[in-house]
A and B are shown apart, each in its own frame.
Chain A
């Protein structure tokens, strides 16, 4: 799952739809199916182009820092991120195309591709790994979905969806728990390893209407093993209808 895309674009369940469809039979006819729920969530990011500015706050045992960045995205696999603050890191840019990541380092004026062996490393000192930025987990093939809870008739409560990794599926997560609100927007995703231990939690809060869409403006990642640490992304501004020149997603443009 492209975690950062989840934050940046609200994309988060595209991949799960297919497998979810198989389990619709379990749900009552009057209720929305998993497919519908996930489709609704998909709608959040249907805009093909987005341009946003956001703030990333990282707190670890050793440091706490806040960065500002500007992002451009096209579809689900072309993203450019440029750090604008603090001054020390300003100008550092990350280009993601497909599963590849390049970093541009203005201080040394070099572009470096992140090698496969370092994809598990932290991105910009946050709790996100490089993999999180680009890796597309094949949810449809690897997970089974079940609705475990529905909102009450009075509209309170939310949907809970449990995704379980299929046996032998080559995935990092053993189980994923999704909480989706009555407006069919994700509010919380919990990630568990194969042993069933919670690894991290993502919280989606501060849902706002942006150009007619419901968008969670803040996303917080909480690593389960470090209770005092978190990474929080907050949209300062987001625009789905902007024109993005397609050559922006190139190595030449990265250096600009």
Chain B
């Protein structure tokens, strides 16, 4: 009966109920859409900053991540890569070799960060083909090809079809130099890399640097879609890979998850997560104030009626219950509407994506990493459950004060109220 009363009380002021519920429902819908967007952005950031940069886990010389010395390599890279690539739970594996070189076009020269890659395997980690501004990605069976970052190509004033010279100090102290054919120009997703990055076959870079069959990293992807430090799937795979790669003193190897390789990335992703929750808090504060206002008004209007109820012997706890039921019903209604609307928004975000353009340009940049502006939503059930539960909790909390106010009414005083 209490529930029926609560329900009818809401109907009594249909328009007010509708407006409050609509406001809350829209909040829910927007929170859902925002979370889907933010999660989509995480996915993208994680993709760019983890998967495409460090990989989810990495096999490397223990000092390479911090020192980045040319000599801190993984020896017998081909064999080791084969071993780890065959492990269960490895979704992608590639080996990379890095080196600094002076690149020269016909007129201009510039320092470049060379990345030696396995053209096919690299595609499992990074969608290089989608990033080509012109030309094509490295052909696995062609030697002496190079793909340049957009900015670098501009600096060198070269285009697809041109040749560039690379000069570097090789591992044996000699002056390594080679001529490469520019086959492609790409935009890597990172501002810095676009300006300095150049990709060539692992084999070619090994030759240039005189580092035969060596790599600086074996980069792996797991099945995890998570972007939080301590991700259990990645942690488990780290153990598997460690077990599969015996190391000796002469060739020390470390197997590290991305959050150890790049703590800065981890803290950045964590910060974005925190800011998403901040938005939630603000939105729900607004929703909470809406409920508070509605319930206070409703209680205030019904002073006399509540006084009668108390005079008849209604216990205060029952009055509190009645008010809380009203609030819960109201927000439950709002949730239902919000879920429907939010579902529609989520569907649009997932299927169509949303391109937020910044005032400065058409790309989104976070911490020096450029993103494709179109972000596709990622819908997570746990997020929706949390959203709904949060709203219901807010509904209860916001209604507590009006409820207690109503419960404390003194019948004689209340009934005299006109």
Contact present between A and B (CB < 8 A): yes
Q: Interface centre among B71, B104, B171, B173, by most A CB within 10 Å?
A: B173
What would 17 more interface pairs be, CB under 8 Å, given A60-B173, A89-B174, A115-B102?
A58-B173, A62-B71, A62-B171, A62-B173, A88-B174, A105-B177, A108-B177, A108-B178, A110-B104, A112-B109, A112-B167, A124-B173, A125-B170, A125-B172, A125-B173, A125-B174, A125-B175
**Is A103 an interface position by the 8 A CB rule?**
yes
Min Cβ gap A67→B in Å is 9
- Contact assessment for B102 and A65 in the assembled complex, using a CB-CB cutoff below 8 Å: no
A117 cross-chain contacts in B, Cβ below 8 A: 111
Alpha-carbon separation in the docked complex, A60 to B170 (Å): 13
**Is A113 an interface position by the 8 A CB rule?**
yes
B104 cross-chain contacts in A, Cβ below 8 A: 110, 112
With A115-B109, A118-B102, A125-B169 known to touch, is A107 a contact of B174 (CB < 8 Å)?
Answer: no
Closest to A65 in B: B173
Alpha-carbon separation in the docked complex, A92 to B169 (Å): 13
Task: Give the 10 A-B CB pairs with smallest separation, nearest first.
Answer: A125-B173, A108-B179, A63-B173, A105-B177, A112-B104, A110-B165, A63-B172, A65-B173, A108-B165, A115-B109
- Mask for B151-178, Cβ within 8 A of A = 1, else 0? 0000000000000010101111111011
| Main secondary structure on A side of the interface with B | loop
- Contact assessment for B71 and A65 in the assembled complex, using a CB-CB cutoff below 8 Å: no
Min Cβ gap B105→A in Å is 10
A115 cross-chain contacts in B, Cβ below 8 A: 102, 109-111
Alpha-carbon separation in the docked complex, A62 to B179 (Å): 26
Q: Interface centre among A63, A92, A108, A115, by most B CB within 10 Å?
A: A108
B167 cross-chain contacts in A, Cβ below 8 A: 103, 105, 112
27 pairs across A/B with beta carbons < 8 Å?
A60-B173, A62-B173, A63-B173, A65-B172, A65-B173, A103-B167, A103-B175, A105-B167, A105-B177, A107-B178, A108-B165, A110-B165, A112-B102, A112-B109, A112-B167, A113-B109, A115-B110, A115-B111, A117-B111, A118-B102, A118-B111, A121-B169, A124-B173, A124-B175, A125-B172, A125-B173, A125-B174
- Mask for B117-157, Cβ within 8 A of A = 1, else 0? 00000000000000000000000000000000000000000
Alpha-carbon separation in the docked complex, A110 to B164 (Å): 10
B177 cross-chain contacts in A, Cβ below 8 A: 105, 107-108, 110
Which chain B residues have a beta carbon within 8 Å of chain A's beta carbons?
71, 102, 104, 109-111, 165, 167, 169-175, 177-179
Which chain A residues have a beta carbon within 8 Å of chain B's beta carbons?
58, 60, 62-63, 65, 88-89, 92, 103, 105, 107-108, 110, 112-115, 117-118, 121-122, 124-126
Alpha-carbon separation in the docked complex, A126 to B102 (Å): 17
Closest to A111 in B: B104
- Residue in contact with A92 in the complex, picked from B165, B173, B175, CB distance below 8 Å: B175
B171 cross-chain contacts in A, Cβ below 8 A: 62-63
A113 cross-chain contacts in B, Cβ below 8 A: 109
Min Cβ gap B154→A in Å is 16
B110 cross-chain contacts in A, Cβ below 8 A: 115
Alpha-carbon separation in the docked complex, A242 to B174 (Å): 31
A108 cross-chain contacts in B, Cβ below 8 A: 165, 177-179
Closest to A106 in B: B177
How many CB-defined contacts (below 8 Å) exist between A and B? 57
Alpha-carbon separation in the docked complex, A189 to B42 (Å): 57
A63 cross-chain contacts in B, Cβ below 8 A: 171-173
Alpha-carbon separation in the docked complex, A85 to B234 (Å): 51
Alpha-carbon separation in the docked complex, A58 to B169 (Å): 13
Min Cβ gap B212→A in Å is 14
Alpha-carbon separation in the docked complex, A126 to B172 (Å): 11
- Contact assessment for A112 and B174 in the assembled complex, using a CB-CB cutoff below 8 Å: no
Closest to B172 in A: A63
- Residue in contact with B179 in the complex, picked from A60, A88, A110, CB distance below 8 Å: A110
Alpha-carbon separation in the docked complex, A92 to B173 (Å): 14
Alpha-carbon separation in the docked complex, A107 to B168 (Å): 13
Min Cβ gap A116→B in Å is 10
Min Cβ gap B99→A in Å is 13
Alpha-carbon separation in the docked complex, A88 to B172 (Å): 11
Min Cβ gap B170→A in Å is 8
Alpha-carbon separation in the docked complex, A108 to B103 (Å): 12
- Contact assessment for B175 and A105 in the assembled complex, using a CB-CB cutoff below 8 Å: yes
Min Cβ gap A231→B in Å is 10
A92 cross-chain contacts in B, Cβ below 8 A: 175
Alpha-carbon separation in the docked complex, A88 to B171 (Å): 14
Alpha-carbon separation in the docked complex, A121 to B99 (Å): 14
Alpha-carbon separation in the docked complex, A92 to B110 (Å): 20
Closest to A124 in B: B175
- Contact assessment for B165 and A105 in the assembled complex, using a CB-CB cutoff below 8 Å: yes
Min Cβ gap A7→B in Å is 18
Alpha-carbon separation in the docked complex, A105 to B71 (Å): 24
- Residue in contact with A114 in the complex, picked from B102, B172, B173, CB distance below 8 Å: B102
Closest to A107 in B: B177
Alpha-carbon separation in the docked complex, A105 to B104 (Å): 12
- Contact assessment for A89 and B175 in the assembled complex, using a CB-CB cutoff below 8 Å: yes
Alpha-carbon separation in the docked complex, A125 to B104 (Å): 20
A112 cross-chain contacts in B, Cβ below 8 A: 102, 104, 109, 165, 167
A62 cross-chain contacts in B, Cβ below 8 A: 71, 171-173
B173 cross-chain contacts in A, Cβ below 8 A: 58, 60, 62-63, 65, 124-126
Min Cβ gap A63→B in Å is 4
Min Cβ gap B205→A in Å is 16
Closest to B180 in A: A108
Min Cβ gap B251→A in Å is 15
